[in-house]
A = this chain, B = another copy of it.
Amino acid sequence: MTDTKREAPASPEKRAAALEIVLRRKADMPKNFVAEFTEHADDAWITANGAQMVARAWTDPEYRARMLVDGTAAARELGFEFPEHHRNLVVLENTPTVHNVIVCTLCSCTAYTIIGAAPDWYKDLDYRARVVRESRTVLREMGLDLPATTEIRVWDTTADTRYMVLPMQPPATTGWPVQKLATIVTQDSMIGVTRLEQVKG
């Protein structure tokens, strides 16, 4: 069935609209459900959440220690939501010689309530296939050329544990207040395809 079935299916827009009609008619989906869900997701599940956790960890050694033991509790401590099926948040600490990078080879799971919705490149089949086997090469192609001495740790999100990387604080930002520090923490750095050391003060 893969070679000759060449009729064009209806557009994704039309198909999505059909599903909406079905869920309203047959499953009592409230009229405003999608709009309200979208607003909530766009407001609440944002990269700034993880960035605040990272900035706090940089400035509060006790929070950092708690976060590395129990990421879920550390997220909740700052008031961030964790959906039921994300049972665990594990925070992976980068060091000068250890670099962590996250992937989901089987689908595209992420800790989206904490680091924001996954970027398209993370869902790319090329990323899913290659980063586990060619980690150093893929990171270099993406602009992160790690020294040969850096140990790379790849984390495949195959269960209900969600990961986030705790990047290293850029030396130039020593002494900054936590809210200013949070502004330099990117989503890519919490997935582990960039590091922040080069950030200027």
Q: Does A7 contact B (CB under 8 A)?
A: no
Q: Which of B1, B2, B3, B125 contacts A3 (CB 8 A)?
A: B125
A113 to chain B minimum Cβ distance, whole angstroms, is 25
Q: Does A70 contact B (CB under 8 A)?
A: no
Q: Which residues of B contact A81 (CB under 8 A)?
A: none
Q: Which of B2, B120, B124, B125 contacts A126 (CB 8 A)?
A: B2
In the bound complex, CA of A23 to CA of B120 (Å):
41
A142 to chain B minimum Cβ distance, whole angstroms, is 14
Q: Which residues of B contact A120 (CB under 8 A)?
A: 3
Interface size of A as a range: under 10
In the bound complex, CA of A125 to CA of B126 (Å):
21
Contact with B along A97-122 (1 / 0, CB 8 A): 00000000000000000000000100
Q: Which residues of B contact A1 (CB under 8 A)?
A: 126
In the bound complex, CA of A124 to CA of B1 (Å):
8
Task: List A residues 116-137 near B (Cβ within 8 Å).
Answer: 120, 123-126
A129 to chain B minimum Cβ distance, whole angstroms, is 9
In the bound complex, CA of A126 to CA of B125 (Å):
21
Q: Select from chain B the residue with minimum beta-carbon distance to A121.
A: B3
In the bound complex, CA of A15 to CA of B3 (Å):
19
Q: Which residues of B contact A2 (CB under 8 A)?
A: 124-126
In the bound complex, CA of A3 to CA of B119 (Å):
13
Task: List A residues 1-21 near B (Cβ within 8 Å).
Answer: 1-3
Besides A1-B126, A2-B126, A3-B120, 5 more A-B contacts (Cβ < 8 Å) are: A2-B124, A2-B125, A3-B123, A3-B124, A3-B125
Chain A interface (Cβ < 8 Å from any Cβ of B): 1-3, 120, 123-126
Nearest 5 Cβ contacts at the A-B interface: A2-B125, A3-B124, A1-B126, A2-B126, A3-B125
8 residue pairs from A and B, CB less than 8 Å apart:
A1-B126, A2-B124, A2-B125, A2-B126, A3-B120, A3-B123, A3-B124, A3-B125
